[in-house]
Amino acid sequence: MFSGQHTLLRRLEEADAEKIFSHWNNYELRQYLPSPLPSSQQDLIELVRTKDKLFRERSEFFFGIEECCTSKELIGIINLESISWISRHAFIGSFCIFKPSLRGKGYGRDAMLTLLDFAFNVIDLHVVALLVESYNKHAIGLYENCGFMKRGTMRELVYRNGKHCDVTVMDVLKKDFLDRYGILPKGENII
Ligand SMILES: CC(C)(COP(=O)(O)OP(=O)(O)OC[C@H]1O[C@@H](n2cnc3c(N)ncnc32)[C@H](O)[C@@H]1OP(=O)(O)O)[C@@H](O)C(=O)NCCC(=O)NCCS
């Protein structure tokens, strides 16, 4: 587990599938995830199993985001995928705080900084990149706040709500993250 100030990143368990399922098919959330298609609870159990296997193989790191101060609830997910151990890069693939009422309170930023600290100071990646729908100003603001910079636009790459939408490419290098944040304290929960 890797703990920030308000959140903790932990591996998912099969028992989490039910909790994720209660949010996963909400269309408001799905529009930000890779596929807009709904999932069954069985799909999510398989997803958790697959992500666990990929974690053990070190080819993807999929974490649950847990609120660590009061509720200790699973409030979202975040991952590093498409990892190259030769180039030492990875992409953020999925990132969300499930409930809209919990967004804008700093949990996402805390979880992203904890993930970047893991990426750069624990597994020694060189660069972390991501793609984000250009209309998602909240997410882009958060990424900039965490040290990512815009590197370009892929035009009309994704189809959302009846429109072909531009996608912004962003990245952050280890040295830029270290200049800004150094090595973050890991808290007492690291094991
Ligand atoms: C994107 C998401 C994970 C962010 O998590 P969050 O908990 O809402 O984000 P935070 O409250 O930590 O945001 C903090 C920072 O974002 C930035 N930010 C927030 N809203 C912003 C806006 N409208 N414009 C610019 N920057 C903004 C600010 O820098 C803010 O930092 P500050 O509060 O210190 O000023 C969450 O909103 C979410 O799940 N959204 C739906 C799914 C999604 O969009 N996923 C991303 C797909 S790429």
Is pLDDT at 73 greater than 90 in this prediction?
yes
**Residue 51, pLDDT score:** 96
| Atom of ligand 1 minimally distant from the CA of 142 | 16
Ranges of each domain in the chain: 2-181
Report pLDDT digits (tens) over 114-160.
999 999 999 999 999 999 999 999 999 999 999 999 999 999 999 98
Of 184 and 164, which is predicted with more confidence?
Answer: 164
Report the predicted TM-score, pTM, of the whole model to 2 decimal places. 0.93
**Residue 191, pLDDT score:** 35
Mutating to test ligand 1, I would choose from 138, 143, 148 the residue with most ligand atoms within 8 A of its C-beta, which is: 138
Cα(18)–Cα(22) distance, rounded to whole angstroms? 6
Cα(124)–Cα(58) distance, rounded to whole angstroms? 13
Q: How far is the CA of 61 from the centre of ligand 1 (A)?
A: 21
The two structure tokens encoding residue 22? 């209660």
The pair phi, psi for residue 58, each rounded to 5°, is: 65, 30
Report pLDDT digits (tens) over 13-67.
999 999 999 898 898 888 888 788 889 999 999 999 999 999 999 999 999 999 9
Backbone φ/ψ region at 68: left (φ over 0), alpha (ψ -120 to 50), beta = alpha
- 34 with 158: CB under 8 angstroms? no
CB atoms within 10 A of CB 6: 19
CB atoms within 10 A of CB 67: 20
| Atom of ligand 1 minimally distant from the CA of 130 | 48
Fold for 2-181, please state it: Aminopeptidase (3.40.630)
Cα(96)–Cα(64) distance, rounded to whole angstroms? 10
